[in-house]
Amino acid sequence: MALEIKIPAVGESITEVTIAKWLKKDGEAVKRDEVIAELESDKATFELPAEADGVLKIRVAEGETIGIGTIIADLDGAANGTAAPAAAPAAPAPAAAASADPINQGEENPKASAQAGYGGTPEGGAAAPVAAAPATGGGSIEIKIPTVGESITEVTVAKWLKPDGAQVARDEVIAELESDKATFELPAEASGTLRHAVKEGETIAIGTVIARIEGGISGGDAPAPAAPAAAQAAPVAALASSPASSGAATYATGVPSPAAGKILDEKGIATSDVAGTGRDGRITKEDAQNAQTRPAAPALQAAPAAAPAAPVSSAPAASGNRNQRRERMSNLRKTVARRLVSVKNETAMLTTFNEVNMQPIMDLRTKFKDQFKAKNGVGLGFMSFFTKAVCVALKEWPSVNAQIDGTDIVFNDFCDISIAVSAPKGLVVPVIRNAEALSFDGIEKEVVRLATLARDNKLTIEQMTGGTFTITNGGVFGSMMSTPIINAPQSAILGMHNIVQRPIAENGQVVIRPMMYLALSYDHRIIDGRESVSFLVRVKELLEDPTRLLLGV
């Protein structure tokens, strides 16, 4: 019986794919889970594995674009084959070997006859040795991408921590997954031999099979029953070890996919005139559709005698290294970009500025920092002063701590302060919960803890959601002044900057003081100018006289 191979669902918004390349030929014997084709959508490239052992019969030609669910091939002899009575007497040895197939466990004659029936491969010899290929001593367990959050629909395989074919133990971490919000570790669900189903760097949907674990033993002793047929197995073994059967597609910068190549040929556009946006710079179908001919090119080729090469060759303007690198944007970076643009377009954002004399805080830190660290085990930084000042001001101006939800305004009677942290993979904003109830040392300890988790890429989604107000410190990088963008759905963000010795007037005299510019960006739809300016002035007062924070005045 033939098994139909259909195009699987590869993403919610993807309705069609292109057969980029057939990795196995029509009429060729294939094994279960062996990659037979490469599919290309408008977003990514996918590999299509065989669902069972059998002989491949291709229905759709390479380069064609088809819808999800379309039948593209058949696998003859893949299920309970009907050729058992005729094939079993003619090939007793292969049938015995096939009965050892772990997929068939206990069904000797039907499975053996079905596999013996496709012995006439182009490479010659019976295909029974294929059925006798490595037994794993158990079934195959599929490892799927688990649900990691309500709003997360896809993840990227950031890194395989265990190579393909490696022995893994149950609960051992085999891969690192990256979403648009956090990084997760994927443990093995059982002990056995790991088989990758997705390449490193690919973005896949929740629930997709990412790998399989074959039962406990690597299967080195399994081929023993097939020893008498070693001569027949050699061509098949050579086929399995060839680059084509390994499922590894070769990519190169500027090389078009079959579908893209066809479109470029019809347009008469050279591949050198198209910039590829696919993996490793490959030219995708969308690149080809968007490509335009260069009108100046024919004129340059039509006048070779006019010596246009002289100015080009005589202008060695760039003699240094001019290499370019193309890297796929991470989900985190894409999400940050999307949200920042959304905030700019959907809010009435405005920024107000003020400056703070940091001398009182610096004097206080100099006087007590050693005793503070000895008692609490953490240094006394600026962040605790700013967080406490912000919490006091938010209580007095609650609209700055509120947010818009449809046609309602949600006021928060607590202060969950988000702290912007520059992590290795991008900007993250962990949250200090109920900061208004924390002491100076409690805030400093929480800042250190969250910053450490961020730099180790171990922050969870819960630790980065639910903030009511954000503080960002561009001064650590030397920023003098900036207009920070609101962290939606919040309504305001406070920007700290570097501390610079500047002349100011105090009591009618010019003195030098360590000054910092403060910037408050706010959503003018919910926060009026009076509230925003008054909030920032209150923060300034509390910072310039920190005893107010201790006395609550």
Is there a contact between 349 and 521 (Cβ–Cβ < 8 Å)?
Answer: yes
Omega before 489 cis (within 30°)?
yes
Q: Count the Cβ atoms, other than its own, within 10 Å of residue 58.
A: 19
Q: For 510-547, b where at least 16 C-beta lie within 10 A, e where not — what string?
A: eeebebbbbbbbbbeebbeeebbeebbebbbebbeebe
The residue from 171, 287, 528, 545 that is catalytic is: 528
Q: For 470-498, b where at least 16 C-beta lie within 10 A, e where not — what string?
A: bbbbbbeeebebbebbbbeebbbbbbbbb
* Residue found by looking up tokens 């496709």 in the block: 118
Phi, psi of 267 (to 5 degrees): -80, -15
Q: Please return the burial class of 506, using the count of CB atoms within 10 Å of its CB with bins 0-12, 13-18 and 19+.
A: exposed
CA gap 525, 18 in Å, rounded = 47
List CB contacts of 177: < 8 A, sequence separation 6 or more. 145, 148, 155, 156, 157, 158, 183, 184, 185, 186
Quick check: helix, strand or coil at residue 243?
coil
The residue from 171, 273, 370, 524 that is catalytic is: 524
Q: Quick check: is 196 catalytic?
A: no
Record the tokens describing residue 466, joined without a space. Answer: 């639910």
Record the tokens describing residue 439, joined without a space. Answer: 């002491």
**What DSSP string describes 168-203?**
E-TT-EEEEEE-SS-EEEEE-SSSEEEEESS-TT-E
What is the enclosing helix (H) or strand (E) of 159? strand 154-160
* Residue of 334, 356, 376 whose CA lies nearest to 178: 334
Is there a contact between 165 and 130 (Cβ–Cβ < 8 Å)?
Answer: no
Name 205's bridge partners: 154
CA gap 200, 177 in Å, rounded = 10
Q: Quick check: is 42 catalytic?
A: no
Angle, helices 529-544 vs 382-396, to 10°: value is 140
Catalytically active residues are: 524, 528
